[in-house]
Amino acid sequence: MATVSYKGATRRYPGTTRNAVDKLDLEIGDGEFLVLVGPSGCGKSTSLRMLAGLEDVDEGAILIEGKDVTNLPPKDRDIAMVFQNYALYPHMTVYENMAFALKLRKTSKDEIDRRVKEAAKLLQLEEYLSRKPKALSGGQRQRVAMGRAIVREPQVFLMDEPLSNLDAKLRVQTRSQIASLQKNLGITTVYVTHDQVEAMTMGHRVAVMLDGVLQQVDTPRNLYDSPANVFVAGFIGSPAMNIKTVTLGADGARFGSMLMPLTREQVTAAGDGKVTVGFRPEDTDLVAPSEGGLPIVVDLVEELGSDAYVYGHADVNGEQERFTVRTDGRSAPSLGDTVYVKPRGAHHHVFHAETGVRIA
């Protein structure tokens, strides 16, 4: 159990001009489950590997429990890692895979046996202990990889997309198992994923990265409710938020015939001419033509049972813009219909048109 701090940690791969991870500042609390999320190539895995000691830190420092580990080899950092492809030792049995690290630490045989059996019980692997990894299913291999990390009783768990090789159903199941396991063990965990649903459901806090730069780190609720910029707004939430840059009037943003009211402070902060506004598909209602909504021609309806997602386009200030709306599954419109869309209450988000930064 420990805290982790990135202090201006930077990684630049030789032969590239852009930093893979650029001046990352991040404090992770004792026992916290922090998720690093972002699109591919955003630097989230590199950040994790820097913490693991598998990647050099070109500038800045990384601290575990206040101790500078920037230049320590992986084995001296007291961490355990779960890899995307599990990286089990193919020539060792499940038992040996889990015992390997303890053997290297010269732990006594009885202690190794106790810890491995305990972890095996926790992960329902008891009957597979004498099998080799290739005789296991994907889900079982994933649990062995978890077990190998657990028996170490490390200060920090590192997980690099541990669920992405599982099928969808197993992934959802394992997701909750990992979250509750982490809660019971209370070990600080840094978890990398590109899947924002995983990030939102598992993390105590979520750090969103793009192009090597940390965009925002906050609780899932705050990320959803007040994204710090346009990227986070578009990345968090599924389907993605409707984000449009439109003409700024004195009293709000103009979506063709529809006016989205803004406060005077927001109008002032937005500056001249343009403003970027966003509203989530789930914060949107289909209204009657008389209620002043934006008319949208329906292109596609996705029926999910309880809900339906309506995809359509509208003519906004002379441009064809696409919109997504969530509606009740039982009263979904048909293809080609014209529906009237109105963002609900104060659940819209306002960003500066140039910088993309949130305007409160």
- Report the residue number, 79 or 223, with the smaller CB distance to other proteins: 79
**Is the Cβ–Cβ distance between 27 and 3 less than 8 Å?**
yes
**Which H or E run contains 140?**
helix 138-150
Using CA atoms, how far residue 146 sits from 115, 274, 306, in Å, is 13, 50, 35
**Is the Cβ–Cβ distance between 353 and 270 less than 8 Å?**
yes
Confirm or reject binding of residue 13 to other proteins (CB under 8 A).
Answer: no
* Among 88, 192, 325, 350, interactor with other proteins by CB under 8 A: 88
Confirm or reject binding of residue 72 to other proteins (CB under 8 A).
Answer: no
Separation CA 228–CA 219 (nearest Å): 12
Separation CA 339–CA 20 (nearest Å): 45
Confirm or reject binding of residue 100 to other proteins (CB under 8 A).
Answer: yes
Confirm or reject binding of residue 52 to other proteins (CB under 8 A).
Answer: yes
Q: Of 200, 208, 175, which Cα lies nearest the Cα of 39?
A: 208
Closest approach, Cβ 82 to other proteins, in A, equals: 9
* Among 11, 44, 143, 148, interactor with other proteins by CB under 8 A: 148
The helix/strand/coil state of 223 is helix
Question: How many residues form the binding site for other proteins (CB under 8 A)?
Answer: 23
Confirm or reject binding of residue 74 to other proteins (CB under 8 A).
Answer: yes
- Report the residue number, 136 or 246, with the smaller CB distance to other proteins: 136
Closest approach, Cβ 157 to other proteins, in A, equals: 11
**Which H or E run contains 265?**
helix 264-270
Segment interacting with other proteins, rule: CB under 8 A, options 84-92, 224-232, 285-293, 347-355? 84-92
* Among 91, 109, 183, 344, interactor with other proteins by CB under 8 A: 91
* Among 1, 30, 67, 75, interactor with other proteins by CB under 8 A: 75
The residues near 272 (Cβ < 8 Å, ≥ 6 apart) are: 248
The helix/strand/coil state of 1 is coil
Confirm or reject binding of residue 90 to other proteins (CB under 8 A).
Answer: yes
Separation CA 360–CA 347 (nearest Å): 12
As given in the structure block, the two tokens for residue 292 are 């002043």
Separation CA 7–CA 60 (nearest Å): 6
**Is the Cβ–Cβ distance between 170 and 138 less than 8 Å?**
yes
Confirm or reject binding of residue 240 to other proteins (CB under 8 A).
Answer: no
Binding mask 29-48 for other proteins (x = CB under 8 A): --------------------
Residue type (1 letter), 46: T
Using CA atoms, how far residue 71 sits from 22, 101, 243, in Å, is 18, 21, 43
Closest approach, Cβ 259 to other proteins, in A, equals: 54
Segment interacting with other proteins, rule: CB under 8 A, options 1-9, 75-83, 286-294, 320-328? 75-83
Q: What is the DSSP letter of 358?
A: B
Confirm or reject binding of residue 101 to other proteins (CB under 8 A).
Answer: yes
* Among 81, 159, 192, 209, interactor with other proteins by CB under 8 A: 81
Confirm or reject binding of residue 171 to other proteins (CB under 8 A).
Answer: no
Separation CA 28–CA 35 (nearest Å): 10
Confirm or reject binding of residue 164 to other proteins (CB under 8 A).
Answer: no
- Report the residue number, 61 or 92, with the smaller CB distance to other proteins: 92
Alpha helices in 4-104 (DSSP H): 44-52, 94-104
* Among 61, 63, 72, 87, interactor with other proteins by CB under 8 A: 87
Confirm or reject binding of residue 197 to other proteins (CB under 8 A).
Answer: no
Tell how strand 156-160 and strand 188-193 pair up: parallel
- Report the residue number, 37 or 88, with the smaller CB distance to other proteins: 88
Closest approach, Cβ 76 to other proteins, in A, equals: 9
Confirm or reject binding of residue 305 to other proteins (CB under 8 A).
Answer: no
99 backbone dihedrals φ, ψ, rounded to 5° = -85, -15
Residues of this chain that interact with other proteins (CB under 8 A) are 52-54, 73-75, 79-81, 83-85, 87-91, 100-101, 104-105, 148, 152
